[in-house]
Chains A and B, each alone.
Chain A
Amino acid sequence: MSFLSGLLRFRSLRSRALVCQEVVELVTDYLEGALSPADHRRFESHLAGCPHCTEYLAQMRETIRLAGRLAPEDLTPAMRTDLTDLYRRWRDEG
């Protein structure tokens, strides 16, 4: 767990507003839908008043989007040949 989680749970119980340093630790839980309804509301109400955390969240989303566009590296001709050989050896096994 994150080092803030203990502190956070304590704070949540007391329903205090989140600060930026806590928000950045909760971004993934937020995106994953893993926050409690109360924390979810606190998270969004912080965002509504904080352009920097809004930007931070947008950057995390962009990071995810860019990672998803990363094309697999091309196979080398040698790898293709090796794997074709492997297939044919297997086929001839049985």
Chain B
Amino acid sequence: MDADASLLRRLRDGEEQAFAALVERYHSPMLRLALSFVSSQAVAEEVVQDTWLAVLRGLDRFEERSSLRTWLFSILVNRARTTGVREARSVPVADAGPVVDASRFGPSGAWVLPPEHWIEEAENRVDAVKLSELLRFGLGGLPARQREVVVLRDVEGMSSAEVCDVLAISEANQRVLLHRGRSRLRQVLESELGGEPR
């Protein structure tokens, strides 16, 4: 049985420790996701707290047709979207154009300014704390929709199907957002860590 299924069972048995474990596991990713929809940390925290309460109140009705994680994040996204709309937060404009600056390619479409090397730097020379800060900075700079998908897919490790369920978007849309978000994140790493191309 996976860890979530066993937590769910213990939660239904009224074990406070199971709730604490669930909170440790999911509170901060949920907070990070909520921040994509609403304008402030305080509002995001409120949305996540509301979500936890809804989860507890809904425990008896949860039919396990989806995983516990999908269920949690779906509740969160619904609440965060409602709150975001209530706050009349402007919807970010669609992000078009190439994911790598066109000036880096020649007229034939071949690289003239090829990717700078940074993988070795990231793995061997940058300490973990600095790397985490850099990634958080990069994620924070993504347009909200892209951030949602990258956080769920790459940070949280969800499958594309799970992400589509949670965010109620199509596979194709998910892939476009993922592509744009990951590409931007790569560019941030290159800009901060890159050296001359070999």
Contacts and interface: CB of A to CB of B under 8 A. Distances in A.
> Is B one of A's binding partners?
yes
A2 B127 CA distance: 35
Interface string B154-198: 110100100000000000100110110011011001100000010
Contacts, number: 133
B157 A70 contact: no
Contacts of B119: 58-59, 62
Interface residues of B, number: 58
Residues of A contacting B: mostly: helix
B175 A28 contact: yes
Contact of A3 (B96, B105, B155, B190): B96
Interface string A55-94: 1101110111011101111110001101110111011000
Interface of B: 14, 16, 19-20, 23-25, 27-29, 31-32, 45, 49, 52-53, 56-57, 96-100, 102, 105, 108-111, 114-115, 117-119, 122-123, 131-132, 135-136, 139, 150, 154-155, 157, 160, 172, 175-176, 178-179, 182-183, 185-186, 189-190, 197
